């Protein structure tokens, strides 16, 4: 079962990168598997996350593995939103 953050992430990925939201599960690979998630795609995704969740994500702040899967990105956002990681 996907959390509200996970469902929101699916929609952001669909809107920002053209990924088919219905196919995304927590274990779905992102970085290296989604062609649109190149350097420009990453910037667009980070901007969309900042806008939607009211966060400021500084360059280099996100741990390297955070874009590995939908679940790892969801975990990063949950930690940030709960004040457990980053600023």
What is the pLDDT averaged over residues 30-36?
Answer: 95
Residues 51-82: tens digit of each pLDDT? 999 999 987 888 989 999 999 999 999 999 98
Alpha carbons 50 and 60: distance in angstroms, whole number: 15
**pTM of the predicted protein model:** 0.89
Per-residue confidence (pLDDT) for residue 64, from 0 to 100: 84
Alpha carbons 54 and 39: distance in angstroms, whole number: 22
Alpha carbons 44 and 33: distance in angstroms, whole number: 17
| Residue that the structure tokens 């899967």 belong to | 69
DSSP secondary structure string for all residues of 37-73 = -SHHHHHHHHHHHHHHHT----TTTS-GGGGSBHHHH
Cross-strand bridge partners of residue 69: 29
């Amino acid at each position: 079962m996907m959390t509200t953050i996970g469902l929101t992430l699916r929609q952001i990925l669909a809107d920002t990168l053209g990924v088919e939201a219905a196919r995304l599960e927590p274990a779905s690979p992102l970085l290296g598997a989604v062609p649109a998630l190149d350097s420009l795609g990453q910037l667009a995704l980070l901007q969309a996350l900042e806008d939607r969740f009211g966060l400021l994500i500084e360059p280099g702040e996100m741990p390297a593995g955070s874009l590995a899967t939908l679940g790892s990105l969801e975990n990063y956002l949950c930690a940030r939103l709960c004040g457990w990681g980053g600023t």
